[in-house]
Structures are given as structure tokens and as C-alpha cells.
Amino acid sequence: MEIVVLGAGALGSIISGHLARAGESVHLIARGERALYLKENGITVTGLAEFNVACPVITDPKSLTEMDILILSVKSHDVEAALSNVSGVKFGSVLSVQNGVYGNDQLAKVFGTQATLGATAAFSGEVTPQGEVAFTANAGFFIGELPSGISPRVNAIATTLNKAGINTEASPDIQSLQWSKFVLWVAYTSISVITRFPTYRFLSDRDTSLLCARIMREMAAIANHRAITLQDVGWPVLSVVGDTEEVAVMTLNRLSREVEQSAPNHKMSALQDLENGKRLEIDATLGYAIDEAQKRGLTVPTLDVCYSLIKGINRSNLGTPLNTT
């Protein structure tokens, strides 16, 4: 099985490293200083797994011709440029570990709906200043046919990743899982960027956890309008969106204690980007959610305010002109 991982950030490096260590034929597409570092030093993973492994790094993806699998692992604002570099490659299956749900449409536009699988990642990590990758959570990687179903190719990919050490499941309802994670991710990302708190801390505070719960409930209303059933995704979703606000806050406060014990240094990827002076992944995620709400005549007041705040934070962080119009 010939596997291409497009993007050498935390998740792309974790996947590529595990596959390379397991002896799979994997090709990691990287660029700039990150590509140079990986060529010279290999992939070093710390935390939940500890290893260093050499992995083929490709800087000119146009040299590829026909491959079995493409795993997209770049930020949403980099997708169009990244996919343009591999649009001439024939892939049997393509999937994304991006945050959000818009990646499905972007992959299908380039490679067709037949090749596009749904996927959602409940594992995480962080690239350290030294270039290593801290593997901080391995709660699961879920893959399925869109909008639902399991096929032989899904089972084959899941088996390959499992053998390599990435906890992977074939999901019979991947759209539900993707949206469930999206509901959680939009809320957690919003509060983490605004407060700059590690995950356990904003979940433990009554005020910030209440705001988090309200965003999740607004997101759940969008999913409900799309007739998408939600579920828990390692971390609770249903008890936050389907019960009273008091129960929702208690649920998040209880989760905070678990996160503090198991991953006290865990930070949302957007907060990591903010701290590193990088562009925030918000337009194709938070912006997409607000567009979906507007299309359906839904109001999402908490998310609206947070999105406006985060857009301002993003401009300030990048040193771009403020919006004065």
C-alpha cells in the first residue's frame, strides 16, 4: 500500500512516523525548513510513543504518479494550494485529518466523490521548537464511507493504521462523527483562543465552560437542521448539548479534572498557532459554521461574538491592518 501524507505538522508527522516505523511505504510531503529538518533528522515522536525514524520526504509532489492513499494534513487555509500540487496524481482513496467538515468537499472537488472518504481525528500532538513532535492524545482516528457505511478499503486502511500504532476504527456513520467533533472543536477552539488557557483550565472555570457549552449547543442546532445525529467522541457531546446548561457545565467541569490528570499541557491546535504567531484556522471552521447557520435562518449569538473577537485577535497576531470599515 503506497501512502502519501500531505503536510508535516503534528498530525502528519505522527501518522507518517508510525507508518514508517511499521515498515509501511509512506511518503511525507513537506516544505521549507520543516522538510530540511525531517530529511536530516527523521521524525522524532515523544509522549505517548517514543521513537525516531527515517521517513521519505518529498518536496516536489509532482514527481508522484499513482498512489493508493492520500492523507491530507494541512491547515484549512492551505488546502487549495496544497491540493493543486498533487491534483495530477491518481489516488485510490483520499481522506483528511483537518479540523472541521469542509475538507470533504475540497477533496471531492479535486479527486471526485468516489475516491473521497470521511475521517475525523481524536488524536493530537504539537511540534516542539526543537522539531520533535509531542504525541499528547490517541483517543482515536475514525474512517468511513461518506455519508455512511464501511467498505473493504476502509477496513484495510484502518487495519494498516492500527498495526502502526494509531488507534483507528472503521465507522459506519462517519458524517455523524465528523460533525460531533466539529461541534466540540469549534467551541473549544473559540474559548481557548480568547482565554489563552490550556484545555483543562477553560473547562474547569464556570464562566468559560458555560460559554463553551453555549457554543456547542448552537453548533448542535445547525447539525440538527441538517438531520445529522450527534454522538460522544471520546469527550462528551450529548450531555452538553442535550440537557440543561447546569448539567452541561457540570459535565465540562468533570471533564476538566480528567484532562488535567491525563494531559495537563494539552492545548487546542489554534492556541498553539496563536502562540507561534501563525494564521488561525477559523474561516473554514468557525466562519463555515456561521454561514451554515445563516443559510438555515438560525441565530448563533455566542459563536458570532467569539468569531468577531477571534478575527481581531488573528489580525493583531499577524500584524495585519485592523478592520476599520
Mean pLDDT per block of 10 residues along the chain (325 residues) reads: 96 97 97 96 96 96 92 91 93 93 92 96 89 90 95 97 95 95 96 97 98 98 96 92 97 96 89 92 93 97 98 92 68
Cis peptide before 301 (omega within 30 of 0): no
Q: What is the dihedral of CA 137, 304, 216, 285, to 10 degrees?
A: -40
State whether the Cα torsion 38-39-45-49 is positive or negative: positive
Give residue 324's pLDDT.
63
Whole-prediction pTM value? Answer: 0.86
Helix (H, G, I), strand (E, B) or coil at 30: coil
Residue span(s) of the chain under CATH 3.40.50.720 come to 2-172
Please check whether the domain covering 176-317 is classified as CATH 1.10.1040.10.
yes
Enumerate the β-bridge partners of residue 138: 123
The shares of helix, strand and coil residues in the chain, as percent rounded to the nearest 5, are: 50, 20, 30
Backbone phi and psi for residue 169, each to the nearest 5 degrees, phi listed first: -130, 140
Give residue 132's pLDDT.
97
For 2-172, the fitting CATH number among 3.40.50.720, 3.40.1360.10, 2.40.50.140, 3.30.365.10 is 3.40.50.720
Give residue 138's pLDDT.
85
Residues 292/84, Cβ–Cβ less than 8 Å: no
Residue span(s) of the chain under CATH 1.10.1040.10 come to 176-317
Side by side, which strands form the sheet with 25-29?
A: 57-58, 25-29, 2-6, 66-72, 90-96
